[in-house]
Structure 1
Amino acid sequence: MSEEARKELLGVMAHRSRVDKGIERIGGILFGTEAGPQFLTAVRPTGWPLVDDWDCLKSMVRAFEEQCGLLGQYGMKHTRAFANMCNAGVGPIAMPNLASKACAASTPPSF
C-alpha cells in the first residue's frame, strides 16, 4: 500500500471513529452511559414515522456537523439516533452545546 493510500485510509477511519464517538458521547451525556446506546438505537413500532418533527431532525444533523464535521454517507447510519433525540424532546437548540462537548474530546488527527 502506498503511503498516500495509507494516509487516506487512516483519515477515513479517523473520521468514522470521530462521528461514532461523537454520537456515543452525546447519548451518554443525555441518557447516561448505560442507557444511551440503547436509547439512540431504539426502533419505533411498525407504522410509526422515524421522527415526529422533520425540521428538528434536519437542524440536529446540521448542528452536529458544524461542531463535529460532516456525517457523510457513513454517518447517515446515525439518523435514527438524531430522530430519537428529537422524539425525546431534545431540541436542536441543545445540539451545538452537546456536540461541542462530545467532539471536543476527539480532535481530528493531523497527517
Structure 2
Amino acid sequence: MMMDRAHLDCSIKLIGNLIFGSVVAPSVLKIVRPSGQALVDDWVCLKIVVQAFKSHCGSLTQYGMKYMRAFANICNEGVSKDAMEEACGNVCGSYNSAKWSPFIHGYSA
C-alpha cells in the first residue's frame, strides 16, 4: 500500500514538472480557487486528464483522490490532452500498475 501511495505522489509531482517546469509546478498544482468558484472550468477536460493518468499510471484509489485539485489545475491552465498523455507516458510508461494494485492485493485507502 505504501509503495502505491509513493508511486502516486511521485508521479503527480513528475507530471507537473514535465508540464509546467520544476520551479512553477508545485504552486500551479496546489492553486486553490476563491470560494464560490468551480473547481474546474472544463469538466470534460478533468475527466480526460484523470483517464490519461489512469491509463498510464494506474488507478487513483481513494488516497489518490487528493490529487483531483492538481488535475483540475492542469485543465484550468489549458494543458492539452496530448500534453497530458505524453507526460503520463513519460513518467509512468514502464510502471506495472497491476503489481501494486490495491484491488489485487486486497487493500484500499
The two structures share one fold, judged by TM-score above 0.5: yes
What TM-score results when the alignment is normalised by the length of structure 2? 0.82
2:44 to 55, 62, 65: 55
SS at 1:90's partner residue? Answer: coil
Supply the distance in 1 between the matched residues of 2:70 and 2:64 (Cα, whole angstroms). 11
1:43 aligns with 2:35: no
Which residue does the alignment assign to 1:100? 89
1:25 aligns with 2:11: no
Q: Which runs of 4+ in 1 moved over 4 A?
A: 105-108
2:61 to 72, 88, 96: 72
SS at 1:94's partner residue? Answer: helix
What TM-score results when the alignment is normalised by the length of structure 1? 0.81
User: Which runs of no fewer than 5 residues in structure 2 stay unpaired?
Assistant: 101-109
Is this contact kept in 1: 2:57–2:95, CA < 8 A? no
User: Which runs of no fewer than 5 residues in structure 1 stay unpaired?
Assistant: 1-11
1:85 aligns with 2:74: yes
Give the aligned CA root-mean-square deviation in angstroms. Answer: 2.0
Q: What do the CA deviations read for 1:38-87 (whole angstroms, capped 9, x no partner)?
A: 11011011211000000100110011010001001010000001100100
Offset of residue 102 of structure 1: 1.6
Offset of residue 100 of structure 1: 1.0
Q: Percent identity?
A: 45
Larger radius of gyration: 1
